[in-house]
Amino acid sequence: MNNRGKLWTLRYTLINVTYFAAFCTVHAYAAVFLLDSGFTNTEIGILLAVANVLSALFQPLVAAVIDRQGFFTNRNVMMICAGMIAGGAVVLIFAGSVKPVVFIVFTMMYMVQFTYMPVMTALNFEYQRGGAKIFYGLARGLGSAGFAVTSAIIGTVVENEGVRVLLYVTIAVMALHAVIVYFFRLPKEAEVPETKDAGSENGSGSITDPGEREQKEDKSSSIPEFIKRYPAFMLMLVATVFLFFTHNMLNDYLIQILRPLGGGESELGIATFLAAVLELPTMAVITLVSKKVSMKLMLVVAGVSFTVKAVIMLLAANIPVAYVSQAMQMLAYAVFIPAAAYYVSENIAEHDQVKGQAFVTSCFTLAGVFSSLVCGIVLDSLGVAEMLIIGVAVSSLGTLLIMCAMKMSPKNAAKQKMSA
69-75, long-range: CB within 8 Å, 24+ apart, which pairs? 69/193, 69/194, 73/194, 74/119, 74/120, 74/122, 74/123, 74/126, 74/194, 74/198, 75/123, 75/181, 75/182, 75/184, 75/185
Which residue blocks in 130-230 are alpha helix, DSSP H? 136-161, 165-182, 210-219, 223-229
pLDDT of residue 394: 97
> Is the whole model's pTM more than 0.75, yes or no?
no
Q: How would you write the pLDDT of the chain (420 residues) with one tens digit per residue? A: 555 657 888 999 999 999 999 999 998 889 889 999 999 989 998 998 899 888 878 877 777 777 676 788 888 999 999 999 999 999 999 988 789 999 999 999 999 998 888 788 778 878 887 888 888 778 888 888 888 889 888 888 988 889 999 999 999 999 999 999 999 987 765 555 444 443 333 333 333 343 444 444 445 567 788 888 889 999 999 999 999 999 999 998 999 999 999 998 889 989 988 888 888 788 778 767 777 888 899 999 999 999 999 999 999 999 999 999 999 999 999 899 888 878 887 888 877 776 777 788 778 888 988 898 899 899 999 999 999 999 999 999 999 999 999 999 877 554 444 444
Amino acid at 330: M
pLDDT of residue 195: 43
3-state secondary structure (DSSP) of residue 137? helix
52 CB-contact burial (10 Å; exposed 0-12 / middle 13-18 / buried 19+): buried
CA terminus-to-terminus distance, the chain: 35
Residue-level length of the chain: 420
Give the Cβ contact number of residue 124 at 10 Å: 24
Give 91's Cβ-side CA count (13 Å radius).
18
Amino acid at 285: V
pLDDT of residue 341: 79
**Domains in the chain and their CATH numbers?**
1-185 (1.20.1250.20), 219-420 (1.20.1250.20)
CA-to-CA distance for 319 and 329, rounded, in angstroms? 16
| Continuous segment of H or E residues that includes residue 71 | none
DSSP state of 352: G
43 CB-contact burial (10 Å; exposed 0-12 / middle 13-18 / buried 19+): middle
